[in-house]
Structure 1
Amino acid sequence: MPIDVQGTFVSQKINKVRWIPEDYVETKCFFAGSWDDDENSIKVWGFESPHEDEEVEYPRQLSEYPVDGDVTQIKFTEKNKIAVSISNGDVKVLEVSAYDKHTPLREVYHWKKLHNYGENECSCTSLDTLEGDIVSIGEDGNIHILNGRRGDVARSITGADSCSLHSVCFIKHNEIITGNLRGHMKIWDLRSPDNKPTASFLLAGDELASTCIINHPTQPHIILAGSESGSLAVWDLRVNTFPTSLLNAHSAGVTEMQFHPENPNKLLTSSVSGELWDWNMEAMTKSSKGPDGQLAWLSLDDKNTMMVNSLMPKLHKAINTIHCDKGRILCGADNEAIYLIKNLKY
């Protein structure tokens, strides 16, 4: 079956979309967080067909939760709980009902003005979650480790960076990696008592911000970072602290990346340039073993070995977010539309 793309106008610039996971059935509901509006919100939407015999599904708004600022990140802490970072410096944990998605989102925890310049507010630019733990970063250059089960601040690293932090990722429970506005990457050991990184290096030589960081689902020592220039940096933390490969990808900044949950060789990326790409990363692992018997990560000299497909026609506005569940991809854009892509082969 060919890939099927359906767009729906929702009257809000969408900064984050996330499928709400369901057991045993294909999920029909998702979160969407807006930005750059007079009044922003997190909405729960559900896909439904107007007529039973129709293939076309349209999203219908089920509930709305207003927020004071732009939604900058949404990540799950549990199956029905999300951590949300907001541009006013707040972080919230919200719960969606497992039984009735029309029920308004319930606030579980709220860290007010977690990121700030004293009396003045500043943005909580991003966060990441790992089994109930939350790490948040902000324009103030501070890092906070939050406990999503108890609702307290477990650790704060103040002055972690001299300029605005833009991206963060858990490497493991006690280790995180951050990227700042100038492309400086730092690895932090959360067990260490001093507020100094265990390693720091440059994303690339051009002083461009790292916009998103993820690690490989089956090889957590492999880190990928997207940059403001649209390139993708890949490196192996066991071998060295500088990228093994720098792939010139999109023509403008990478906004979000996700490995397919069922196929770790498939990478999806979205960009400010309005592109949504599907990468076959198989070519980047080679059969020779690394230092600990794991697959080594190929440093790419031959860029032709990468298979990249465009999943939908290029938009004239930024695609800010993607989220994949089996053969269905959601993406949200600055043209105030949400797109559902069906029949993705994985």
Structure 2
Amino acid sequence: MPLDVQGTFVSQKINKIRWIAEDYVESKCFFTGSWDDEVNSVKVWSFESPHEEDEVDYPRALSEYPVEGDVTEIKFIDKNKIAVSLSNGDVKVLEVSVYDRQSPLREVFHFKKLHNYGEEPCSCTSLDTLEGDIATIGEDGNVNVLSGRRGEVMHSIKGADSCSLHSICFIKHNEVITGNIRGHMKIWDLKATNNKPAASFLLAGDELAATCIIHHPTQPHIILAGSESGSLAVWDLRMNSFPTSLVNAHSAGVSEMQFHPENPHKLLTCSASGELWDWNMEAMTKSSKGPDNQVTWMPLEDKKAMMVNSLIPALHKPINSLHCDKGRILCGADNEAVYLIKNFKY
């Protein structure tokens, strides 16, 4: 079946979009977080057909939770709880009812002014979650680790960076990697007491912000970072501290990346240039075996083998967020629309 793309105008610039996973059936509900509005909000939506015979599903807003500032990130803590970072320096843990998605989101915890310059709050630019823990970063260059279960700050790294941090990713339970506005990447051991990075390196030579970082779902030592210039860097933490591959990809910054949850060879990326791409990463892993017969990732000069497909015609506004569930992909953009792509082959 061919790809089926449908866009729906929702009259809010969408900064983050996330499917709400269902057991055994295709997800119908999703979250959005808006930005650049007078009052921004986190909304719960459901895809519904107005008439039973219709094959087209339209998103309908079920509930709305207003927030102060822009929504900068939404990540799941568990099946029905999300961590939301905001541009006023706050982080909220919200819960959606398992049975009744119509009922408003419930605030579980509220971390106020988590990121600040003294009295003055500053943006909490991103966060990541792992097994109930939340790691947050902000314009103040600080890293905080919160408990999503107990609602307390467990660890803080003050002055982790001298400039604004843009991206963070858990590598394992006690390790995170951060990327700043100048493309400096640092790995932090959360058990260390000296607040010094365990490793640091540059994303690329030209001082570009690391806009998003993820790790490979089955090989957590493989890290991917998207940059402000639209390039994709890949490196293997076991072997070296600089990217093994740097692929010039989008024509503007990479907004978000996700490996397909059921096929780790499929990578999806979206960008500020309004593009949504699907990458076949299989070619990158097959190229060579390392010293102890481990798979190493493709070196820079062999990257002609990359297979990349564009999933929707390029929009004239940035696509800020994407989320994939089986054969369906959601993305949200600055043109105040939500797009659903169906029949995606994975």
TM-score bracket, shorter-length normalisation: over 0.9
Q: Where does structure 1 lack aligned partners over 5 or more consecutive residues?
A: none
Deviation of residue 50 (structure 1)?
1.1
- Return structure 1 stretches of 4+ with deviation > 4 angstroms: none
Contact 2:137 2:144 survives alignment (8 Å): yes
Q: Aligned partners of 1:301, 1:290: CA distance in 2, in Å?
A: 17
Q: Aligned partners of 1:287, 1:159: CA distance in 2, in Å?
A: 40
Q: Aligned partners of 1:183, 1:35: CA distance in 2, in Å?
A: 24
Deviation of residue 294 (structure 1)?
3.2
Write the mapping of 1:5-20 to structure 2, written as runs, cut at 5 A. Answer: 5-20=5-20
Q: Equivalent residue for 1:333?
A: 333
Q: Aligned partners of 2:291, 2:192: CA distance in 1, in Å?
A: 26
Contact 2:287 2:298 survives alignment (8 Å): no
Q: Aligned partners of 1:22, 1:291: CA distance in 2, in Å?
A: 42
Q: Aligned partners of 1:86, 1:107: CA distance in 2, in Å?
A: 14
Write the mapping of 1:1-346 to structure 2, written as runs, cut at 5 A. Answer: 1-286=1-286, 288-346=288-346
Amino acid at match of 1:343: N
- DSSP 3-state at the match of 1:32: strand
Q: Deviations over 1:13-67 (max 9, x none)?
A: 0000000011111110000000011110000000011111211000000000000
TM-score where L is the length of structure 1: 0.99
Paired residue total: 346
Contact 2:289 2:296 survives alignment (8 Å): yes
Q: Aligned partners of 1:32, 1:240: CA distance in 2, in Å?
A: 38
Q: Aligned partners of 1:34, 1:125: CA distance in 2, in Å?
A: 14
Q: Aligned partners of 1:64, 1:296: CA distance in 2, in Å?
A: 46
TM-score where L is the length of structure 2: 0.99
Q: Aligned partners of 2:108, 2:230: CA distance in 1, in Å?
A: 36
Contact 2:230 2:249 survives alignment (8 Å): yes
Contact 2:270 2:276 survives alignment (8 Å): yes
Q: Aligned partners of 1:256, 1:175: CA distance in 2, in Å?
A: 21
Amino acid at match of 1:121: P
Q: Aligned partners of 2:221, 2:230: CA distance in 1, in Å?
A: 22
Tell me the C-alpha RMSD between the 2 structures.
0.8
Q: Deviations over 1:143-176 (max 9, x none)?
A: 0000111111000000000000000000000100
More displaced 10-residue stretch of structure 1: 315-324 or 48-57: 48-57
Contact 1:210 1:228 survives alignment (8 Å): yes
Amino acid at match of 2:108: V
Contact 2:8 2:338 survives alignment (8 Å): yes
Q: Aligned partners of 2:288, 2:230: CA distance in 1, in Å?
A: 30
